[in-house]
Structure 1
Amino acid sequence: MSKDEIFCDCEVIHADVLEEVKTRMPIEEDIYDLSDFFKVLGDSTRLKIISALDAHEMCVCDIAVLLNMTKSAISHQLRYLKQADLVKFRKEGKVVFYSLKDDHVKDIFEIGMEHIKEK
């Protein structure tokens, strides 16, 4: 075993800790929903779209040009983000503008970026 490996060699169960943590654990359904939420964020194209929308409300055409992708591909990804309740849209005539759903989405993205830049 290398010196960097960490393992627990105790055989004592800390019942008080287990009971406290059990009371704080989310229900299974919420864990699965959160897992699905992070799966949606697990796609680099969707994160690029979220990054763009973090800066400014945009239409599909502008996002497509920014990311050098087709409007169809961007619309497909926006559909995922909308179904996951991460983006919203508004219509202005024939143009549809997308933005982040709320400050929670903005915070999750920005905190995640802050975390990875700490390295």
Structure 2
Amino acid sequence: MSAGKFICDCTVVHKEIVDDVKKAMIDMGEYKKLALFFKVFADETRIKILWALDLSEMCVCDICSVLDMTKSAVSHQLALLRREHLVKCRREGKSVYYSLDDEHVKQVFETGLEHIRHF
């Protein structure tokens, strides 16, 4: 199908729909937070870390081993993921263990994966 077939040639505005949608729009602060939330998912390394943590809680050294990355590089990405509340950590002796922050993160991640596998 050519791109031209997807161009709307109508000039009719469906006022009731427009009014309903305008009333339901979220505030600008939420748009910004949501955009930042999804921006975090736009990095392959962070996706790999989230995938690993979707499978199991892991310490930093384990994540480094799985991804064949340095501790510094993994720690940098984990700090960003922590700031955005996508992962959480707990200390056990000298080790720090990471996991997905909550069920919502797991659902978003797994839904995204399901979506791309759908095609």
Q: Place the TM-score, normalised by the shorter chain, in its bin.
A: over 0.9
Distance 2:16 2:105 in 1: 35
**2:118 matched residue in structure 1:** 118
The answer to whether the aligner puts 1:47 opposite 2:21 as a matched pair is no
Compute the TM-score of the two structures, normalised by the length of structure 1. 0.95
**1:59 matched residue in structure 2:** 59
Q: Any runs of at least 4 consecutive aligned residues in structure 1 with deviations exceeding 4 A, and if so which?
A: none
- Please list every run of 5 or more consecutive structure 2 residues that lacks an aligned counterpart in the other structure: none
Counterpart amino acid of residue 36 in structure 1 = L
Distance 2:78 2:26 in 1: 29
Distance 1:10 1:17 in 2: 16
- Please list every run of 5 or more consecutive structure 1 residues that lacks an aligned counterpart in the other structure: none
Distance 1:3 1:41 in 2: 29
Compute the TM-score of the two structures, normalised by the length of structure 2. 0.95
Could you say what secondary structure the match of 2:29 adopts?
Answer: helix
User: What is the CA RMSD across the aligned residues, in angstroms?
Assistant: 1.1
Number of equivalenced pairs: 118
**2:25 matched residue in structure 1:** 25
* Structure 1 residue 49 displacement after superposition: 0.3
**1:15 matched residue in structure 2:** 15
